Amino acid sequence: MLFVNLMTLKPNLSRLQIDEAAQRRAKWKYPAGLKLVAEYWLQGSTNVLAIIDAEHAGNLLQLSYAWNDVFDIATHPVVTAEEGLRFLQQARVVRRRGRRPKALLAQG
């Protein structure tokens, strides 16, 4: 199952603590049961966005415990756009013959 982790540096960290966390990340490996799909380092209120394929949601606890000293972490289950559209079709929100909801038409 796919999850996205939004990780924000804690506001009380010193420059030294942030530098130490970056060095720690360079050596750190994702725990067994977690496969990194993508990781992005952002400028803004969220500092790291990681997309993770997890065998079980519980495997994400290891990641959270490893980094909760420097990051506030929000974890959310996600699906791909293809999967999301398929789920909408199954729920009969989107018709299978190519008609899209008005909100999706406005975006594209």
Domains in the chain: ranges and CATH = 2-78 (3.30.70.1060)
Q: Kindly report the number of other CB atoms within 10 A of residue 104's CB atom.
A: 13
Per-residue pLDDT of 41-73, as tens digits, reads 998 888 999 999 998 888 899 999 999 999 999
Asked if residues 87 and 18 have their Cβ atoms less than 8 Å apart, the reply is no
- Give residues with Cβ within 8 angstroms of 3, minimum separation 6: 51, 52, 53, 54, 57, 60, 75, 76, 77, 78
Give this prediction's pTM. 0.75
The pLDDT, as a whole number, for residue 88 is 86
The pLDDT, as a whole number, for residue 98 is 58
Is the pLDDT score of 86 beyond 90? no
Q: Kindly report the number of other CB atoms within 10 A of residue 63's CB atom.
A: 21
* Strand positions, DSSP E, the chain: 2-9, 34-41, 48-54, 71-78
